[in-house]
Every structure is written in structure tokens, then in C-alpha cells.
Amino acid sequence: METRHADDAPTPSIKKMGSALAGLVQGHLELIGIEIQEERARVFKLFLLASISLILGLLILVGLSAAIVIAFWDSNPIAAILVLCAIYAVLLAVCISRAIGIAKESISPFQATVEELARNRERLLP
């Protein structure tokens, strides 16, 4: 029997390397697809709840504003309307600034895919 030397170690065939690469690509594509579906469902739920909340909030706001203006109708209705507008403007500015802050600090929706690609790169590269 012949003994193999260290220099004669079997090298991976091109087919095996191609198969491994195809497996990696397939796994990543499946992960991206799952993350896209999850993100789409999350965004739709968020949009739906935000829309309903906005409509209900506006209805409450209109009702309360009308009640305040009617209560001050005899004494000074213009002042009541201007005070309400000032309060709404301040609240609008606060909401916009918070929304911008949340948008800036949001994480990447494909964080798991990026982490998996980084792990694969570490495994494959010396």
C-alpha cells in the first residue's frame, strides 16, 4: 500500500466548492426573503394601527376643540381658538421631532442577514 504524503492531500473539487457556495447563497436568499416578509407584515400592521389611531385622535380633538370653543363662545371665542391652535402647534412640533429621532435610531431591517454574511466571511477567509 502506498502512503500519502502531506503534499498529496486531497483538494476540494470545483463541484464541491460550487455546491457549498450555492448552498450559502441559497441560505442567504431564503433568509432575506423571510426578513422581507416579516418587515412587510410589521410595516402594514404599524401603518394600519397608526391610521386608525390618527382618525380616532382627530375625532376626539375636533370634539374637544368644539366643546372648548362653545364653552367660551359668550366671553372670548377668538382667544379660545388661538390658544387651541398654539397648543396644537407645540404638540405638532414635539411629535415631528420625536418621529425624526425614532427614524434616525432605527436598526437595519436586514440585520440578521448582515450578521450571517459577516460570520460566513470570517469562516471562509483566513
Q: How confident is the model at residue 48 (pLDDT cuts 50, 70, 90)?
A: very high
Mean pLDDT of the chain: 81
The average pLDDT across 59-84 equals 91
User: Contact 35/112 with Cβ under 8 angstroms?
Assistant: yes
Rg (CA), the chain: 30
Buried b (16+ CB within 10 A) or exposed e, 3-35: eeeeeeeeeeeeeeeeeeeeeeeeeeeeeeeeb
Q: How confident is the model at residue 4 (pLDDT cuts 50, 70, 90)?
A: low
User: CA 71, CA 95: separation in Å to the nearest integer?
Assistant: 28
| The overall pTM is greater than 0.75 | no
Name which of 19-33, 67-81, 102-116 the model is least confident about.
102-116
Burial class (CB in 10 A: 0-12, 13-18, 19+), 50: exposed
User: CA 115, CA 78: separation in Å to the nearest integer?
Assistant: 59
User: Contact 65/85 with Cβ under 8 angstroms?
Assistant: no
- Smallest CA-to-CA distance from 117 within 8, 50, 27, 13 is with 27
User: CA 1, CA 26: separation in Å to the nearest integer?
Assistant: 42
